[in-house]
């Protein structure tokens, strides 16, 4: 991972689907802007062109593990060049809903070699701070259902654990991803805030804000 110096600060949120990271990112953005910081946000699989292709592949179930990995890497690369780097050069605070660790966890669960995944993202700068919201799979599962009222094939790991029972597949898939996150962050020499996702929303928000302010001032 690149360690190129830059003027701004990069803070990323990680955790399984339903852990609460997206809501916390939105709140942190509001707090930092209120404090006078220039902030920009970006989320996983959100480049308009690439996400349209990804959506088509999901609908038609055309993904293989390697095409899944490559297309998400393309989405990341495009946003990285067009959004992340320019904002960091301007001295802004960049908040990302998922970073390269999402691909490391998801792609390796699909059987892609971790060395290959790391090669795909070797240009990416090391984040100044990582907020890892670790939420039990059962809790995250019910949050996910409450929000979307359905389970999607790929986000449930149907291609990995089978489509006959998406509920069971979702839990197995996210257990595997959670384990890979734990392994990744236990070994990395990074500035990480690990939070128990079962704490109250306000408690989590307070810890995230304090960590972000400290990271920005480092």
- Contact predicate 170/87, CB 8 Å: no
- pLDDT of 3: 52
Closest by Cα among 14, 12, 77 to 49: 77
Domain ranges of the chain: 9-213
The whole model's pTM is what? 0.92
Tens digit of each residue's pLDDT (9 = 90 or more) over 6-62 = 689 999 999 999 999 999 999 999 999 999 999 999 999 888 889 899 999 999 999
Per-chain mean pLDDT for the chain? 92
- pLDDT of 189: 75
Closest by Cα among 176, 171, 97, 102 to 140: 171
What CATH number should be reported for the domain whose range is 9-213? 3.40.50.300
- pLDDT of 135: 95
Tens digit of each residue's pLDDT (9 = 90 or more) over 52-98 = 999 999 999 999 999 999 999 999 999 999 999 999 999 999 999 99
* CA distances, 152 to each of 62, 127, 143, 166 (Å): 14, 30, 14, 8
């Amino acid at each position: 991972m690149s360690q190129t110096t830059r003027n701004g600060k990069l803070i990323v949120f990680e955790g399984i689907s339903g852990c609460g990271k997206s809501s916390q990112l939105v709140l942190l953005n509001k707090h930092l802007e209120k404090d006078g910081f220039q902030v920009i946000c970006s989320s996983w699989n959100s480049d308009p062109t690439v996400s349209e292709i990804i959506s088509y592949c999901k609908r038609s179930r055309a993904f293989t593990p390697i095409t899944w990995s490559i297309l998400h890497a393309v989405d990341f690369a495009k946003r990285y060049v067009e959004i992340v780097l320019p904002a960091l050069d301007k001295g802004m605070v960049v908040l990302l809903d998922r970073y390269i660790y999402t691909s490391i966890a998801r792609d390796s669960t699909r059987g892609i070699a971790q060395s290959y995944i790391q090669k795909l993202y070797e240009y990416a700068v090391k984040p100044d701070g990582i907020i890892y919201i670790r939420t039990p799979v059962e809790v995250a599962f019910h949050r996910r259902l409450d929000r979307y009222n359905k389970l999607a094939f790929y986000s449930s790991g149907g291609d990995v654990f089978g489509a006959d029972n998406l509920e069971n597949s979702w839990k197995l898939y996210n257990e595997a991803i959670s384990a890979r996150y734990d392994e990744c962050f236990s070994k990395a020499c990074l500035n990480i805030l690990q939070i128990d996702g079962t704490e109250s929303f306000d408690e989590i928000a307070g810890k995230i804000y304090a960590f972000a302010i400290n990271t920005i001032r480092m």
